[in-house]
Structure 1
C-alpha cells in the first residue's frame, strides 16, 4: 500500500510517502506559498527558460544567462551544438538539473513538457513508447497513441513519448485519458512558444511543477491524506489536472480541528530527525555513517558493540545484511545522488557478497531515479551511482557552521590561542603603539578570562602591547575577534 501524507500549517509544509507503512520519501519547505511546491523560489528542474548564450567553448559547453545567480550550461550533442547556439542568441532551454554546489544548472536545447502518461517533444515527428511497457499492452497503447496524435488539430507541434504509467489505464479509458493529457500538453507548449516569440528577454517561460505535484504526477497512490483546508484544495486541483474521474486516488482531509500535527499522529518525527543525522542505527547495534561531499557521499558500515553472531564472519554478514536493506530507504529519504561509495564490513564468502549485492539492487528497484550498483571491489568497496537532480536534504536544509566552516569539527583551545597570537602579531605590525581589544562570545570569554588568560598576557608582554578582553554585544557569526583600540600612552 502506497500513501502520501501532506502536513500544511502556517510557515511549514511537509510531505512524506510510505510504502507498506515505511517512510520512503520526504519533502519539507518553510514559508507561506501554499502551492505544495516544497522548493521555494528559484530555478526548478523541468522548467523552460529563455536564456541568452554568453560563451561557447567548442566540444565542451555553452554557457547561458537564465537569470540565476550562476551561469547555466549546455553540453554538446554527438554532432556538436545546434546552429542557434551562438553567443548573443536567446533560445528556449529546459532545466535538466538544478544548480548544485558550485555548478550551475544543466540545460537542454530541446525542451519537453512532461505529463503523467505523455511527454511532449516539440518538433519530433514520431511517437516513442517506453521500453518498460510490457508486450501485452504495447500494441494497443501504440495504436491509440498514434490515433490521438494523428487526429489532433495541433499534431504539427510535435509527438509524444508514452510513459510506463500508461499501462495502468484500463483499456476502455485509454483513448479518453491520453486525449485529455495531449490537449493539456499541446496547450502548454502553445503558450510557451507564443510567449517566447512575443518577448525574448531572459526569463522563465514555463515553471515546472514542484516536487510534491511531480510526486503525484509520476506515482500511484492508494490514498492521499492532507491536513489543512488550503493544501486539501490545492491537492484536489492537482488530482483533477492529471487524472480522469475513474482513476482518481482517494483524497482525505485530516484533523479538521487543527489540534494535532499530521506527522505527530502517524509517528514520522523520529524517522525524519534521523535524515539529518550523520549516524543511522541498525537493529543489531551496528550503524551507517554518512559523510557528504559535493560530488560524492561516503557511507561507512560499522559493527557497533551490540552485535550477536557465532563468528566474525557471521557478525559481519548480519550487519551488512541490515545495511543493504536500510541503505536504499536512507538514500531516497536523504536525497543522495551522484556517486555513493559504501564500505561494507569485510566478508570472505563470495556467496554472501552476492546476497548483499542482490538485496541492495532489489531495494533500489522501487526508486524512481535511475541508479546503478557495481560489484564489490578488491578492497571491499561498493559503488552506487544515482541520478542527481537536486541537492540532498542535508545540503538543502542546513548551512555551513560558522565555527568549523563546514569541516564538521571545531578548533581546540591550542588552535584558538595560536590564532589569537598570530592575529595580535599582525595587528601590532599594522598598528604600532595601539592597544588591542580581544572580543569573544560568552563561551570564549570563559577561555580568555580563565585558562587562556596567562597565555594571552605572555603574548602581549612579548609583543610589547596591551590587550584587553571584552564580551561581544549583539549577534555575530564569529565567536571571537580582535579590534584595534586607543593609542597607548
Structure 2
C-alpha cells in the first residue's frame, strides 16, 4: 500500500512517499518569491543576444530569466519589448536567473497538454496497441496543441479522459487570456505545484494520505474527489507529522554516505564536483560458499537499493556505479534488470547505459526540483565553506520535536542542550528567536556549545542537582551576545 505524508511547517512543505512501509521518495519545497519548475509566467523580452544564442526576459522578479534563441523562435520574429508566456524549466542558480521555455505545458493525471506542438504521443510505458487505439478513438487532435498520453490513462474511462482534456484546455485558454489582457508581468500559473504534481502522479492505486494543514486538506480532496481508493486523514498531533511517523529519522540517514544492505554488503555514495559515484562492497556478506553467488546476490540487492537512493536523494546529472566485478555476462544482465526495475517508477528524465569494459554503469538523470541536501545542509563557516553541516533551522525543528515529546510523556520543562560550536554565533546573536523556534520561551534551557558533535544533543533535567552543576549555562530569551 502507498502512503503519502504531507507536512506544511512554514516556510517548508515536505512530502514523503512510502510503499509498503518503505520510504521511496521525498520532496521539499521552500516558500519563496523565486520561480520554481513548472510555473508559468507572463514575461517581456528585455534583450536578444545572437552571439550567445540567448534571450533575456523580465518575468516580474528581481532576476531576469533566459532561454535559448532557437531557430523556431527566430522564425516567429520575436523582438525586444514583446510580451510572451514562458515556463520555468530550471530554477535560478547563484547569480543566474531561471531558465525558461516557450513550450508551455499543463499536466493532468492522464495527459499533458502542450502549446505550439501537434499530434498525440504516448508514454513509452504504454505498450498495448489496443489501449493506444482505444484512447485515440476518444481523444482527438487539437490545432495548436500537442497531447502526451500518460501511463495512468490506460486505467481511465472515456468520460474521465474527455473531462480532463476539456479542463486542461480551458485552463490553458485562461492563461493565454492573462497574456493578452493583463498589464502585470509575473506568475500566471503554478500555485501549490509540487503538491499537485505529487498527488497526481501517485494516486493510481490504493493510497492513504496523511497531512497536517487545512488548506492542503481541501486541495487534496479536490484532486481525488472521484477516487474511492484514496483515503485522506488530518493529523492534529503536537509533534510534527514527520517525527510522529518516524520519517524524520529516515531523512537524517540520507546525510550518511554509507548505506547498509540486508545481505551484509553496503553501498557508498560520494559527490564530486562533476558527478555522483556509487561504490558497491561485499563487506560482511561472506556467509555464502560460492564466491560468484555472493557477488551476484550483493550486486542485485545493491542495484535495488541504488534505485531507491537515487529517487530518495534526488541525485541528478551523471551517476557512476561501480558494481563488484562480474565475469559472467548473464550476471551483468540480471543486475542491470534489477537496476532498471528499481528506477521504473522514477518520473524524472533518466537514461541508463550498459556496463562499460571496466564494469561501470553510467546513469544520466535530470533533476526534479532541488536535492534533499539543499534543504538539510549549509556550508560550514569554520572550515572555509569546504564542508557541510545541518542547517540551524532544521536542528531547531528536531530539538522542538524532542521537547514536545518530553512534554507529552511527562511534566519536565528543563533541558540541557549541546550544540556544535558552528552555530554559536548565530544562536547567541538572537537567543529569543532560537528559544521561540524550539518552543521554549517559558522553559529552563541550559545551552552549551562544544566541538565534535553532529548537530546537537538534548537531555531532560529532572533533579535540581543536575541544574546546579550547569547553572552558568542557563540562558534567557533576552540575553545579548557580547
Same fold (TM over 0.5): yes
Match of 1:142 in 2: 136
* Aligned partner of 1:119 among 112, 134, 140: 112
Instruction: For 1:379-458, list aligned pairs within 5 A.
Output: 379-408=358-387
**RMSD between superposed Cα atoms in Å:** 3.5
Match of 2:153 in 1: 166
What is the alpha-carbon distance in structure 2 between the residues aligned to residue 79 and residue 255 of structure 1? Answer: 50
What is the alpha-carbon distance in structure 2 between the residues aligned to residue 409 and residue 266 of structure 1? Answer: 27
What is the alpha-carbon distance in structure 2 between the residues aligned to residue 336 and residue 408 of structure 1? Answer: 19
Tell me if structure 1 keeps the 8 A contact 2:38–2:190.
Answer: yes
What is the deviation of 1:204? 1.7
Tell me if structure 1 keeps the 8 A contact 2:50–2:69.
Answer: no
What is the alpha-carbon distance in structure 2 between the residues aligned to residue 287 and residue 101 of structure 1? Answer: 35
What is the alpha-carbon distance in structure 1 between the residues aligned to residue 164 and residue 388 of structure 2? Answer: 52
Tell me if structure 1 keeps the 8 A contact 2:55–2:66.
Answer: yes
What is the alpha-carbon distance in structure 2 between the residues aligned to residue 225 and residue 310 of structure 1? Answer: 45
What is the alpha-carbon distance in structure 1 between the residues aligned to residue 360 and residue 294 of structure 2? Answer: 18
Q: Number of paired residues?
A: 394
Moved more, 132-141 or 356-365: 132-141
Q: Could you say what secondary structure the match of 1:399 adopts?
A: strand
What is the alpha-carbon distance in structure 1 between the residues aligned to residue 16 and residue 279 of structure 2? Answer: 26
What is the alpha-carbon distance in structure 1 between the residues aligned to residue 95 and residue 285 of structure 2? Answer: 41
Cα gap change, 1:82 to 1:165, in 2 (>3 Å): farther
* Aligned partner of 2:92 among 85, 99, 102: 99
Greater relative contact order: 1 or 2 (C-alpha under 8 angstroms, separation 6 or more)?
Answer: 1
Cα gap change, 1:202 to 1:265, in 2 (>3 Å): closer
Match of 2:302 in 1: 323
Per-residue CA deviations over 1:262-294 (Å, capped at 9, x if unaligned) read 444544333222122222222244332222346
Structure 1 residue runs without a partner (length 5+): 30-37, 150-154, 411-440, 445-472, 477-489
Tell me if structure 1 keeps the 8 A contact 2:265–2:284.
Answer: yes
* Aligned partner of 1:282 among 255, 261, 266: 261
Cα gap change, 1:304 to 1:82, in 2 (>3 Å): farther
* Aligned partner of 1:354 among 293, 318, 333: 333
What is the alpha-carbon distance in structure 2 between the residues aligned to residue 406 and residue 8 of structure 1? Answer: 30
Match of 1:206 in 2: 189
Structure 2 residue runs without a partner (length 5+): 390-447, 452-478
Tell me if structure 2 keeps the 8 A contact 1:96–1:389.
Answer: no
Q: What is the TM-score of this pair, normalised by structure 2?
A: 0.71
Q: What is the TM-score of this pair, normalised by structure 1?
A: 0.70
What is the alpha-carbon distance in structure 2 between the residues aligned to residue 198 and residue 335 of structure 1? Answer: 39
What is the deviation of 1:70? 4.8
Moved more, 394-403 or 121-130: 121-130
What is the deviation of 1:114? 1.8
Match of 1:33 in 2: none
Asked which structure has the greater CA Rg, the reply is: 1
Instruction: For 1:223-302, list aligned pairs within 5 A.
Output: 223-228=207-212, 230-231=213-214, 234-241=216-223, 243=224, 245=226, 247-256=227-236, 258-259=237-238, 261-293=240-272, 295-302=274-281
Tell me if structure 1 keeps the 8 A contact 2:7–2:242.
Answer: yes
Tell me if structure 1 keeps the 8 A contact 2:118–2:145.
Answer: yes
Match of 1:479 in 2: none
What is the deviation of 1:75? 2.6
Q: Could you say what secondary structure the match of 1:165 adopts?
A: helix
Cα gap change, 1:362 to 1:157, in 2 (>3 Å): closer
Tell me if structure 1 keeps the 8 A contact 2:379–2:387.
Answer: no
What is the deviation of 1:333? 0.6
Cα gap change, 1:78 to 1:168, in 2 (>3 Å): farther
